[in-house]
C-alpha cells in the first residue's frame, strides 16, 4: 500500500494548488439529480407535512446518540422511512436548474449524493435495494434479487448486522456536481457533506425510537459493482444501518 497518500491528498488540495473550476470557465453545471428509468414503478412516500411523530427534545436526542448494531425484529413503517429520507436528503426548494436547498447542508448547495436503500423490513416494500428520487420524494426499485442482502453484506466486509437492520442507507457521490464549482478540492467537501447527512440520520432516527450505525468500512470496488457504478463518475461514499431500538 502506498504510504502517505492521505497527506498527499490534503497537500494536493490546498487552495494554492487549485486551478480554475468549470464554473469559472463558464461551462454548464451537471444535472441536479441523476435520471432514472421512467418505465420502472415509482413508490409514493408519505409527504413531509403529513408526517407527525410528535416532538423530541434536541438536547436529549444528542445526549442519547450512540451507534447501535442490535435491532428489534419490528419492521420500519413507510412513514418512518419517508421521515428519515426527508431529514437526510429532503428537497425543500428547487431553484430552477441551478441548485436544490435540502434539509442537510452541502458546500455551495451542490448536494452530490444519491441515496440507495437496502430494505430488509419496511412495511409495504418488497425486500431489496431502492433508489430515493429526492426531487420527487419517491422510491424507485433498483435490485430486488433474493440474495441482494447477502451480496451487500459481502461487499461490506461481512458486517452481518446489515441484514439485521430494517433498512440500510447507502450514499453514493457524483463528484462532478461539487467539482464543477470547487475543482479537486471538492473531494474534501464531499466527505464533509457525507458527515452532515449521516448525523442528520442519527438524530432523526433517535427522535423516533430507532438506532443507527454508520459504516465506512466496505470494499469499494465490490460495493460500486453491486450498485452498477463505475467508481469514477459515481461511487459509494458512506453507509448506515437503521432499525427499531431493542427495548
Domain ranges of the chain: 58-244
Side-chain-facing half-sphere of 166: CA atoms under 13 Å = 26
pLDDT above 90: residue 3: no
Q: Does domain 58-244 have CATH number 3.40.50.12780?
A: no
Phi-psi region of 203 (alpha: psi -120 to 50; beta: other; left: phi over 0): alpha
pLDDT tens per residue across span 11-45: 999 999 999 999 999 999 999 999 999 898 999 99
pLDDT above 60: residue 1: no
Cell of 73: 425484529
Query: With a threshold of 0.85, does the pTM exceed it?
Result: yes
Amino acid at each position: 500500500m502506498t504510504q502517505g497518500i492521505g497527506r498527499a491528498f490534503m497537500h494536493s488540495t490546498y487552495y494554492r494548488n487549485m486551478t480554475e473550476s468549470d464554473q469559472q470557465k463558464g461551462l454548464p453545471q451537471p444535472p441536479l439529480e441523476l435520471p432514472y428509468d421512467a418505465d420502472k414503478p415509482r413508490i409514493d412516500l408519505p409527504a413531509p407535512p403529513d408526517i407527525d411523530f410528535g416532538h423530541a427534545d434536541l438536547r436529549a436526542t444528542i445526549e442519547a446518540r450512540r451507534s447501535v448494531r442490535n435491532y428489534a425484529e419490528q419492521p420500519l413503517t413507510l412513514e418512518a422511512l419517508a421521515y428519515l429520507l426527508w431529514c437526510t436528503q429532503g428537497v425543500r426548494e428547487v431553484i430552477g436548474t441551478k441548485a436544490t436547498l435540502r434539509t442537510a447542508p452541502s458546500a455551495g448547495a451542490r448536494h452530490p449524493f444519491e441515496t440507495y436503500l437496502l430494505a430488509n423490513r419496511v412495511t409495504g416494500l418488497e425486500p431489496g435495494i431502492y433508489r430515493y428520487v429526492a426531487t420527487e420524494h419517491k422510491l424507485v426499485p433498483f435490485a430486488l434479487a433474493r440474495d441482494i442482502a447477502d451480496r451487500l453484506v459481502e461487499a461490506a466486509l461481512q458486517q452481518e448486522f446489515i441484514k439485521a437492520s430494517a433498512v440500510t442507507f447507502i450514499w453514493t457521490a457524483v463528484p462532478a456536481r461539487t467539482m464543477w464549482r470547487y475543482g479537486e478540492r471538492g473531494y474534501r467537501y464531499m466527505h464533509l457533506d457525507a458527515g452532515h447527512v449521516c448525523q442528520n440520520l442519527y438524530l432523526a432516527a433517535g427522535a423516533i425510537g430507532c438506532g443507527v450505525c454508520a459504516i465506512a468500512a466496505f470494499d469499494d470496488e465490490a460495493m460500486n459493482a453491486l450498485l452498477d457504478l463505475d467508481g469514477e463518475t459515481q461511487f459509494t461514499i458512506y453507509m448506515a444501518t437503521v432499525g427499531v431500538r431493542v427495548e
